[in-house]
Structure 1
C-alpha cells in the first residue's frame, strides 16, 4: 500500500473506532486493537515496516510524544496533592516490582538470558495512557482511584522508556568497566534536560497565551508545534529524553 493511502487508512480507522466506541459505550482501545489486528497481521492491507520503511521508528516516536503530551494536559496538580503519596509509590516501588516480576518471567518462563530479560522487564513496566485513559472513561471508578491510575499511566510511560535505555546502556558499556556510571549519568542528565526543556517550553507557551501574544486561531497549532519542538530539541540534546520532556 502507498504511504499516503496507509496514513489515510490508519487515521480514518482510528477516528471511526473511537466514534463507534462512543456510540457503543465501550473502551476505545478494544476497537482500536481489533482494527489494528485486522488491517495489519490478519489482512496484510497495512504493513507499517514496509509502508513506512526506515521512517517507521521516527513516526512512532512523534505520535507517542503527542499522546504523552495530550495525556499530561489531563493531569491536574490539585489531584496530585490528594494522591501524591500513592502516585509516588506506583511510579517508584510499583515500577521496581513490575520490572523484577517481568524480568523473572522473561528468564524462567521465556527462557531468555539475563541481559535480555532485564531489558524486556524494563519495557514491560509501561502501562501507557493509550490503554489507561480509554478504560478510565468507562470504568466508573471514584475520582481518587481514577486520578491514581491516570497519573501512573502517563508518568510511567517515559519512565519505562528511560529505564529500558539505562539497562541497555549498562550492558553496552559494562564490558568497559563503566556500565553503572554511564547508566546513572544518563538518567540524571535525562531528568535535568527534560525538566529544563519541557518545563521551559511549557512556561514560555503559557506566558505567550496569558499575554495575548498568540491569536486564538493559532493556539491549537502552536501547542502541537511547541510539543513537537520540545520533543525534538530534548531528543537532540540527549537521546530518548524527548518523551520525558513532553510529559513535563
Structure 2
C-alpha cells in the first residue's frame, strides 16, 4: 500500500514538472498539458485505479486556495468597485448556475433539479488566475483586472454556497423556500464566524516573531476557518474568504518584513502544488470517468457537453454586454461606468475561464449523488473548452482591441518610488539635524538615495538595481538607520495607497522590494 502511494506521488510530481515545462514552452495554460499528461499516465499499470475521495478535495484543496485568493485581494479597489464586482460575482454567478441547471434538466430530466443545480454551481465560478495573469502581462486597464479579480474571489463563495445548498436538497429533500432560509443562515453565519476568527488570528500573529511559527499559523488558518464552519452548518468558504480578507488588509502592519517574504514564498509554492496536482489527478481519473459514462452514447455526451459550454459562455457574454451596463443606475456611491466601455465588457465576457475551483467543486461531489461521473465529465469539458478556447485567444483579442496601458503602470510605479525616496531623504535630513546621525554617514546615504531618485525620475529603474550600494551595511551603526529609512518608505507607500495614488499591486511589489533589501542587509557579513 505504501509503495503504491509512493509511485503515484512520484508520477504526479514528474507530470507536474513536465506539464509546466510544456506549458511554458508553448505559452498555454498549465492546466491543459497537466490534464493530458495525467490522462496518458493513467494508461500505465496501476495508475488507472487512482480515485480522489471527494472529502479530500473539499477539505484539503479548497480552504487554502480560497484563503490565498482572499488574502491578496486589493481592499480599496474592491470597495470602490463593489457595485460592478457584485453585479458580476452575485448576479452572473447565480444566473449562470440557474441557466446550466435549466439546460441540463431539460436535456436530462431524470437527474432532477438539485443535481442539475450542483453542476451549475460547479461550472459557474471563474478562475482567478487564468485571465488576470494574461491581462496583467499585457498591461490591460487596471480597473478591468480589479473587477475580474474581485469577481473571481466572491463568485467562488457564491458558487460553493449554492453547491452546498444543492447537496443539502439532494440529501434531505428540502424545498426551494426552505433552501432560501437555510441559505441566509449559512451565509450570515459563515461571514460572521470568519470575521471573528480573523480578528483573533490577527491578534495572535501580531505577537509572534518567529517566521516558522508565522507560516504554521498561516497554514492552519484556512482549515480553522473552513472545517468548524462546515461542521456547524455554516458556509466554510465564506468563513475562509472573510478571514483571508480581514488578515490580508492588515498584512503590512501585522507582519515583519522577513515574515512577509517567507510567507509569500511559502504560499506561492503551496498554491502552485495544489492547483497543479489537482489537474494531474483529474487526468488520472478521466479514464474511470469515461468508463462510468459509457451508458451514454458519444453523440449524446457531445451534445450535452456542447449545450453546457454554450450556456456558460453565452450567458457571460450576454450579461457583460447587455446587463452589466444597467448597474450604473443602481443606488449607492460607486465609480462611473463610463470607463467600462464596449471593448472592456467584451474582454470581461471572454475572460470567463474555469479552473481549479470548478475542478475542486466537481471532484468533491459525494459518491452518493446520482450520475456523479456525468457531472464530473461535463465540468471537465467546460474547464478544457474555456481554457483552450478562451485563455489561448485572450491575448490576441486584447492586442486586436488595443487594450493596454503599460506606460501608465510604469509611470505610477516610478512616482511611487520617487515619493518613497523623497520621504527617506526628508527623514535622513531630520535625523542629521537632530544629531542622531553624524554628517558623514548622512552624506553617504543621501548620495545613495539621490542616485536612486535620479534614476526613478528618468523612469529608468526597471527593478534590476540589486547591486551593492556601498559597504555601509557592514557598519552596525548604519543598520538601524537603514531600517528607519525603509520604514519611512513603507509608511509612504501606505499613504499613497490610502490616497488612491497607487494600486495595491504597486504597493505590494515595492514593499516586497524593501523587504528583500532588509533581508539582504541582515544576512550580509558584519
TM-score normalised by structure 2 residue count = 0.40
Larger CA Rg, structure 1 vs 2: 2
Shift of 1:114: 4.7
**Whole-angstrom CA distance in 2 between matches of 1:14 and 1:200:** 38
**Whole-angstrom CA distance in 1 between matches of 2:209 and 2:229:** 24
**Whole-angstrom CA distance in 2 between matches of 1:231 and 1:15:** 30
Per the alignment, do residues 71 and 121 of structure 1 end up closer, same or farther by CA in structure 2, a change over 3 Å counting? same
Q: 2:161 touches 2:187 (CA, 8 Å); kept in 1? A: no
Per the alignment, do residues 230 and 25 of structure 1 end up closer, same or farther by CA in structure 2, a change over 3 Å counting? same
Shift of 1:16: 5.3
Aligned equivalent of 1:161: 160
Is 1:137 aligned to 2:133, yes or no?
Answer: yes
Give unmatched runs, 5+ long, in structure 2.
Answer: 243-526
Residues 58-93 of structure 1, C-alpha deviations (whole Å, 9 max, x = no match): 221111211111111221111212321111001222
**Whole-angstrom CA distance in 2 between matches of 1:17 and 1:193:** 41
**Whole-angstrom CA distance in 2 between matches of 1:179 and 1:201:** 32
Q: 2:73 aligns with which of 57, 75, 86?
A: 75
Q: 2:89 touches 2:155 (CA, 8 Å); kept in 1? A: yes
**Whole-angstrom CA distance in 2 between matches of 1:173 and 1:188:** 18
Per the alignment, do residues 172 and 30 of structure 1 end up closer, same or farther by CA in structure 2, a change over 3 Å counting? closer
Aligned equivalent of 1:207: 203
Q: 2:124 touches 2:159 (CA, 8 Å); kept in 1? A: yes
Per the alignment, do residues 97 and 144 of structure 1 end up closer, same or farther by CA in structure 2, a change over 3 Å counting? same
**Whole-angstrom CA distance in 2 between matches of 1:182 and 1:75:** 33
TM-score normalised by structure 1 residue count = 0.79
Which structure has more relative contact order (CA 8 Å, sep 6+)? It is 2
SS at match of 2:124: coil
Is 1:246 aligned to 2:248, yes or no?
Answer: no
Aligned equivalent of 1:233: 228
Q: 2:96 touches 2:120 (CA, 8 Å); kept in 1? A: yes
**Whole-angstrom CA distance in 2 between matches of 1:79 and 1:36:** 39
Per the alignment, do residues 217 and 244 of structure 1 end up closer, same or farther by CA in structure 2, a change over 3 Å counting? same
Per the alignment, do residues 23 and 83 of structure 1 end up closer, same or farther by CA in structure 2, a change over 3 Å counting? farther
Give unmatched runs, 5+ long, in structure 1.
Answer: none
Q: CA RMSD in A?
A: 2.8
Q: 2:169 touches 2:175 (CA, 8 Å); kept in 1? A: yes
**Whole-angstrom CA distance in 1 between matches of 2:172 and 2:66:** 30
